[in-house]
Amino acid sequence: MKNQTTQFPKVIIIGGGFGGIQIAKKMNKKEVDLLMLDRHNYHTFQPLLYQVATGGLEPDSIAFPLRKVFQDQKNFNFRVADVKHINPENKSVTTDIGDFDYDYLVIATGSETNFFGQKEIEHFSMPMKTVPEALNLRSLILQNFEEALVEKDLERKQALMTFVVVGGGPTGVETAGALAELKNHVLVHDYPELDIHNMKIYLFEGSERILEPFSLQASKKAKEFLQNMGVIVMEKTRVNHYDGDKVTYNTTETIFTKGVVWSAGVKGAIIPGLEKAEIVRGGRIKTTNFNLVEGYENIFAIGDLAYMETPEWPHGHPGVAQTAIQQGQQLADNLIRIINNEKPHPFNYFDKGSMATVGRNKAVVDLKYWKFQGFFAWLTWMFIHLLFLVGFRNKAVTLINWIVNYFSYDRGSRVIIRKFNRESMMEEGKAV
Amino acid sequence: MKNQTTQFPKVIIIGGGFGGIQIAKKMNKKEVDLLMLDRHNYHTFQPLLYQVATGGLEPDSIAFPLRKVFQDQKNFNFRVADVKHINPENKSVTTDIGDFDYDYLVIATGSETNFFGQKEIEHFSMPMKTVPEALNLRSLILQNFEEALVEKDLERKQALMTFVVVGGGPTGVETAGALAELKNHVLVHDYPELDIHNMKIYLFEGSERILEPFSLQASKKAKEFLQNMGVIVMEKTRVNHYDGDKVTYNTTETIFTKGVVWSAGVKGAIIPGLEKAEIVRGGRIKTTNFNLVEGYENIFAIGDLAYMETPEWPHGHPGVAQTAIQQGQQLADNLIRIINNEKPHPFNYFDKGSMATVGRNKAVVDLKYWKFQGFFAWLTWMFIHLLFLVGFRNKAVTLINWIVNYFSYDRGSRVIIRKFNRESMMEEGKAV
């Protein structure tokens, strides 16, 4: 399929995440023919998925139409396409809507949920990497409460009101905190017939401490915040098994629960076809210091998917938006250099720090020379997230929601638009 | 299943629409035990569904959590339940979560799409009575354009860009208008590779004129508005058939289209079990002048579902929100009277007029003594709709969206959150 119209080099970008958007934007007005392919017609602002899942935000607020991002960019084309295979031998990609040729290929597919090969957990637990997944989780939480209301079996009733968040990274911490706020401010009023004290929220973390890559101070404070909100934080706790009814952890311990949120890990979203590439731990693709996939001359990987060893980051860069954004920007420059037969510049990561929010007035921020927690950290967190959220409408609607949520202690989007079908999940699960 | 806890009369309300909400609210602090049952955990603001379908609003903006509406009402309970059968002989209803007993039953289930028994049309066309249906339509419209981009067969490409809205009532008029705005302001920029002039929007109306229950003046003006926006308005046009590819109308004429919106009629959402009730034209239940279902002593029907003949309205009241709201309020009073062995008062409809919007600055308003169209009508329409939209957050978010849409000529929610699966629809259709 001929996808471009000029004689300029054809650059295909797979993925419209933070990295993909940056590289395409940065190549505006350059003499290239850009084609972006994404499974969705929108960019997902992943850091706020947990707020969609817990009824604080509307899905469309964190989804931004990709065509709109590039509406005025003449060298840009877009296709909703699922890329099935990369064919380096004839410089093309195979998708569900046909093949596309490239001169340069940028893989910016990011990461996907890592269940570490545990099929049963994959079947029964709720991941949260896409908008539909966040909406499924929202439905599940609310459906569990509706079911608990009419459930007579006390053990099952308790299981419906028990939520286990697996993985104490920022997503897990934020989800557990949001669940606690939902419990304390919303569900307590929505379900006066239920004893809300029976709602249990566990946060499991396999390592020594939650928010492990953060400072010790941030970890401690986040744990304190969570515990004050009623979350049961369990560190050095590893899940072995979940069968849809019962979580087994640390080999012998069990909890009955009908709601397991899986945020324990991610892996690179690999597309088959790169035989020569080296896939390292976490399913990331090894690249040179200018994001070239080792073994190829015209295939690049950026963001969560890319594994680049540098003296400063000997085990690769953190899997966060900033890495994707900075690598996207740098690679845009480098691609132009490469096209002009100039030498590409090595990537240099500027660490802007990390942050996570636990709840109202509660967040932790780690900057290089300054670590702070609490109200000011929470304001910083909100400001930064609004800043990076794409589009004025999305910023405005999100801000309105946050203001209303803050002053009313409410979560207005606690609506089950599409029911999550537990039965069909169960059947699929049993079929494994 | 015992559903209530006091000795007060048990009132079950089926449906959390305009009517159901009103009657329950009006009975706050009265000595009754209220139980509302609804399939969804939210109230749907149906008049704005077409804006969700055309990317102008987020789904959660027109859905309001029913539990929140009644959070402080002590005599109120709510269950997400699908009522399968009414059992007047033992004063109970059967639902998917068990049986519930009542002393008084209020059926406020509203109306559902009427395909007039045409199974094939039901399979292949898009109704728009619920939020998920509106989201399906949104996905279909956008998917059609994505498909048209890569379609080589010119006839199919044209069919993907052709939309037929069947039914020239307010919903049909508003949908056709919104599609025209999507075409003229959004899709033209999003799909520069397509010739947007090939996008055709038809509005079919079976009767003499669109907006038939409105004044002649309103009908004419709405038609003029639509035609100026590029909609092909076809009156006295009846659809005979739609097979997923081709609409047949007026017996012999055909149009190839992959997008048929069905807004040609509604019928009462009847629940089985009322053997003695008289079901009249449009699947409505005949009631006395105080909404009692004829043949029963303790079963009432209000809103779209109720058919009540009065001297002023010999063929029943209009199927609009105002009828449901007013009947709900009146029946609340009457139920208390009936419980106190007083005589109920007959219902008296106060006609507040009707309105429909066609597009920016374009609407028609029919009041009893004043009919006007254009910019002021459009402002009136917006004001009234914001007023009746439930909840501050929803009002604020909707207003923000309208302001942004107005000044940017944009529709920011043009995101395909969940793909509409045409194939599985087709297969189901073929199986008929």
A275 tagged catalytic: no
Cα–Cα distance measured from residue B177 to residue B165, given in angstroms and rounded to the nearest whole number: 10
Q: What is the CATH number of the domain that holds A130?
A: 3.50.50.100
User: Which of B132, B189, B394 is facing A417, going by the closest CB pair?
Assistant: B132
Query: How far, in Å, are A193, A325, B267 from residue B113 at the CA level?
Result: 35, 47, 6
Q: Do B393 and A400 touch (CB under 8 A)?
A: yes
Query: How far, in Å, are A179, A189, A432, B420 from residue A182 at the CA level?
Result: 5, 10, 34, 31
Q: Kindly report the number of other CB atoms within 10 A of residue B59's CB atom.
A: 26
Are B259 and B271 in a shared domain? no
| Contact status of A150 with chain B (Cβ, < 8 Å) | yes
Residue B55 lies in a domain: no
Q: Do A41 and B142 touch (CB under 8 A)?
A: yes
Cα–Cα distance measured from residue A381 to residue A174, given in angstroms and rounded to the nearest whole number: 12
Residue B73 lies in a domain: no
| DSSP secondary structure of B295-329 | T-SSEEE-GGGEE---SS-TT---SSHHHHHHHHH
Active site residue: B89, B112, B151, B174, which one?
Answer: B174
Chain A nearest C-alpha distance from B150 (Å): 7
Residue A346 lies in a domain: no
Task: For A81, name the nearest residue in chain B, comparing CA atoms only.
Answer: B146
Q: Do A41 and B415 touch (CB under 8 A)?
A: yes
Task: For A68, name the nearest residue in chain B, comparing CA atoms only.
Answer: B190
Q: What is the CATH number of the domain that holds A105?
A: 3.50.50.60
Are A209 and A91 in a shared domain? no
Chain A nearest C-alpha distance from B97 (Å): 7
Query: Are the beta carbons of B260 and B124 closer than 8 angstroms?
Result: yes
Residue B412's Cα: distance from chain center in Å?
23
The secondary structure of chain B in percent helix, strand, coil, rounded to multiples of 5, reads: 40, 25, 40
CA angle A180, A181, A184 (to 5 degrees): 85
Are B379 and B240 in a shared domain? yes
Query: Which tens digit of pLDDT belongs to each residue from A213-254?
Result: 999 999 999 999 999 999 999 999 999 999 999 999 999 999
Which pLDDT score is estimated for B421?
A: 84
Active site residue: A31, A112, A174, A253, which one?
Answer: A174
Q: Do A67 and B41 touch (CB under 8 A)?
A: no
Cα–Cα distance measured from residue A60 to residue A413, given in angstroms and rounded to the nearest whole number: 12
Q: Do B58 and A397 touch (CB under 8 A)?
A: yes
Query: How far, in Å, are A307, A318, A334, A335 from residue A300 at the CA level?
Result: 11, 18, 11, 10
Mutate to test the interface with B, among A1, A5, A60, A188 (most CBs of B within 10 A): A60
Query: Are the beta carbons of A171 and A131 closer than 8 angstroms?
Result: no
Q: Do B400 and A400 touch (CB under 8 A)?
A: yes
CB contact burial B180-200 (16+ within 10 A = b; e otherwise): bbbbebbbeebbeebebeebb
Q: Do B68 and A190 touch (CB under 8 A)?
A: yes
Cα–Cα distance measured from residue B221 to residue B361, given in angstroms and rounded to the nearest whole number: 13
Are B198 and B276 in a shared domain? no
Does an H or E element contain B399, and which? helix B392-408
Which pLDDT score is estimated for A422?
A: 76
Size of interface A-B (CB pairs under 8 A): 137
Are A131 and A141 in a shared domain? yes
Helix A321-339 and helix A18-26: axis angle, to 10°?
30
Q: Do A193 and B415 touch (CB under 8 A)?
A: no
Report whether pLDDT(A1) > 50: no
The tally of domains found in chain A comes to 2
Residues in A 216-245 with any Cβ partner in B closer than 8 A: none
Helices then strands, each counted (H, E), chain A:
13, 25
Query: Which tens digit of pLDDT belongs to each residue from A389-429?
Result: 999 999 999 999 999 999 999 999 999 999 998 776 655 44
Looking at beta carbons, which residues of chain A come within 8 Å of B410? 68, 393
> Judging by DSSP bridges, how do beta strands B162-166 and B42-44 pair with one another?
unpaired
Looking at beta carbons, which residues of chain B come within 8 Å of A80? 143, 146, 416
Q: Which of B306, B339, B372 is the last residue of a domain?
A: B339
> Judging by DSSP bridges, how do beta strands B354-359 and B362-366 pair with one another?
antiparallel
Are A146 and A24 in a shared domain? no
Q: Do A142 and B392 touch (CB under 8 A)?
A: no
| Contact status of B79 with chain A (Cβ, < 8 Å) | yes
Q: What is the mean pLDDT of residues A312-327?
A: 96
Task: For B404, name the nearest residue in chain A, comparing CA atoms only.
Answer: A393
Which pLDDT score is estimated for A132?
A: 95
Q: Which of A290, A308, A339 is the last residue of a domain?
A: A339
Query: Are the beta carbons of B79 and A146 closer than 8 angstroms?
Result: yes
Are B146 and B179 in a shared domain? yes
Q: Kindly report the number of other CB atoms within 10 A of residue A329's CB atom.
A: 17
Are B386 and B252 in a shared domain? yes
Alpha-helix residue ranges (DSSP H) falling in A100-181: 119-124, 131-150, 154-160, 170-181
Looking at beta carbons, which residues of chain A come within 8 Å of B65? 190, 412, 414-415
Q: Which of A310, A339, A368 is the last residue of a domain?
A: A339
Residue A349 lies in a domain: no
Range of the domain at B15: 10-39+81-113+266-339
Residues in B 176-205 with any Cβ partner in A closer than 8 A: 189-191, 193
Residue B96 lies in a domain: yes
Are B200 and B212 in a shared domain? yes
Q: pTM of the prediction?
A: 0.95
Query: How far, in Å, are A102, A417, B203, B347, B356 from residue A301 at the CA level?
Result: 15, 37, 48, 70, 52
Q: Kindly report the number of other CB atoms within 10 A of residue A281's CB atom.
A: 10
Query: Which tens digit of pLDDT belongs to each residue from A189-207?
Result: 999 999 999 999 999 999 9
Q: What is the mean pLDDT of residues A70-88?
A: 96
Q: What percent of chain A has pLDDT over 70?
A: 96
In order along its 432 residues, chain B shows pLDDT tens digits of 444 456 899 999 999 999 999 999 999 999 999 999 999 999 999 999 999 999 999 999 999 999 999 999 999 999 999 999 999 999 999 999 999 999 999 999 999 999 999 999 999 999 999 999 999 999 999 999 999 999 999 999 999 999 999 999 999 999 999 999 999 999 999 999 999 999 999 999 999 999 999 999 999 999 999 999 999 999 999 999 999 999 999 999 999 999 999 999 999 999 999 999 999 999 999 999 999 999 999 999 999 999 999 999 999 999 999 999 999 999 999 999 999 999 999 999 999 999 999 999 999 999 989 999 999 999 999 999 999 999 999 999 999 999 999 999 999 999 999 999 877 665 544 332
Q: Do B67 and A393 touch (CB under 8 A)?
A: no
Cα–Cα distance measured from residue A31 to residue B84, given in angstroms and rounded to the nearest whole number: 64
Query: Are the beta carbons of A203 and A222 closer than 8 angstroms?
Result: no
B293: left (phi over 0), alpha (psi -120 to 50) or beta: beta
Does an H or E element contain B202, and which? strand B200-204
Q: Residue B360: is it exposed, middle or buried by C-beta count within 10 angstroms (0-12/13-18/19+)? A: middle
Are A199 and A235 in a shared domain? yes
Residues in A 25-64 with any Cβ partner in B closer than 8 A: 40-42, 58-61, 63-64
Which pLDDT score is estimated for A426?
A: 56
User: Which of B80, B150, B404 is facing A396, going by the closest CB pair?
Assistant: B404
Are A276 and A257 in a shared domain? no
Looking at beta carbons, which residues of chain B come within 8 Å of A396? 400, 404
Are A91 and A26 in a shared domain? yes
| Amino acid at the residue A327 | Q
Residue B143's contacts (CB-CB under 8 Å, 6 or more residues apart) are A80, B416, B419, B420, B422
Q: Do A414 and B41 touch (CB under 8 A)?
A: yes
Strands of A180-305 (E only): list them. Answer: 200-204, 232-234, 239-242, 246-249, 253-256, 259-262, 266-268, 279-280, 284-286, 299-301
Residue B294 lies in a domain: yes
Residue B413 lies in a domain: yes
Residue B40's Cα: distance from chain center in Å?
15
Report whether pLDDT(A178) > 90: yes
| Contact status of B270 with chain A (Cβ, < 8 Å) | no
Cα–Cα distance measured from residue B356 to residue B375, given in angstroms and rounded to the nearest whole number: 12
A295: tokens are 């073994």
Query: Are the beta carbons of B161 and B200 closer than 8 angstroms?
Result: yes
B421 DSSP 8-state letter: -
Cα–Cα distance measured from residue A8 to residue B289, given in angstroms and rounded to the nearest whole number: 75
Query: Are the beta carbons of B424 and B200 closer than 8 angstroms?
Result: no
Q: What is the mean pLDDT of residues A282-305?
A: 97
Residues in A 117-146 with any Cβ partner in B closer than 8 A: 131-132, 135, 142-143, 146
Residue B230 lies in a domain: yes
Query: Are the beta carbons of A359 and A53 closer than 8 angstroms?
Result: no
